[in-house]
Amino acid sequence: MTAERLLVTLCTYNERENLPPLIEEIWRVAPQADLLVIDDNSPDGTGQVADEWAARDSRLHVLHRPGKLGLGTATLAGFRYAVANDYTWLMNLDADFSHHPRYIPALLECMRSVDVAIGSRYVAGGGVLGWGLRRKLMSRGVNAYARLFLRLSTHDNSGAFRCFRVDRLRQLDLDGFISRGYAIQEEILYRCRKIGCTFAETPIIFDDRRYGQSKINLYEMLAALVIIPRLGLLGR
């Protein structure tokens, strides 16, 4: 039997200050994990910071993309890497400390019994710190919308803190995804449900980013509002 291997993916765009302490914290709780940083030629030099680290620790790998190609395609690049390199599990975290590594053990525990584990703000014990009412309503709204159009039974469908059984990712048509940006989160769950994956949600407290600026914008929000019903209709 081959050993079980965990890959943690971090999509980065201008996360230079967050990345080093985040990597340290991940390895503090999961020293066995390999890390893949997927950087879109961040102007602040995040990619170089990652390269320097990779040069001194073979557990860290860096994928450089030529420019800001979107969170969706970055996430799928991580999936492809995990499939090509035969990992057992892929776990993804935002690289801004909104997803604290202290929850990694709970997510891994879920993987004993399901195909997809979600670090969830919207189950008992979960929550959000540091957001205003507008941001809270937007997030709740997009989740209700996804549950309605995509018939998802999970509660946090827009967050990226998740763990997947890589054998299940292998079964997805990664070239068939239509989202390029943030709507990828809902599309992934939808496609996982279509192939019969099982799900668990474990509570997380989502904290506002530690350093730097948000990359989410009105365009991303509007794109999600169009893509989610489109997916639902295509799937009929």
Ligand X SMILES: Nc1nc2c(ncn2[C@@H]2O[C@H](COP(=O)(O)OP(=O)(O)OP(=O)(O)O)[C@@H](O)[C@H]2O)c(=O)[nH]1
Binding to Mg ion by residue 220, rule CB under 5 A? no
C-alpha distances out from residue 164 to 24, 35, 78, 200, Å: 22, 15, 12, 11
Binding to ligand X by residue 95, rule CB under 6 A? yes
Contact 8, 75 (CB under 8 A): no
Binding to Mg ion by residue 186, rule CB under 5 A? no
DSSP 169-228: HTTS-GGG----STTHHHHHHHHHHHTT--EEEEE-EEE--SSS-----HHHHHHHHHHH
Which segment (22-30, 78-86, 89-97, 101-109) binds ligand X by CB under 6 A? Answer: 89-97
Q: Which of 106, 102, 101 is nearest to 117 (CA)?
A: 106
Binding to Mg ion by residue 94, rule CB under 5 A? yes
Binding to ligand X by residue 201, rule CB under 6 A? no
Which segment (36-44, 84-92, 111-119, 227-235) binds ligand X by CB under 6 A? Answer: 36-44
Q: Distance between CA atoms of 10 and 172, rounded to whole angstroms?
A: 20
Q: Which one among 85, 153, 214, 217 touches ligand X, defined by CB under 6 A?
A: 214
Residue whose CB is less far from ligand X, 24 or 167: 24
Binding to ligand X by residue 156, rule CB under 6 A? no
Residue whose CB is less far from Mg ion, 168 or 209: 209
Residue with tokens 């993804």: 92
Q: Which residues bind ligand X (CB under 6 A)?
A: 11-13, 15, 38-40, 68, 70-71, 74, 94-96, 98, 209, 214-216
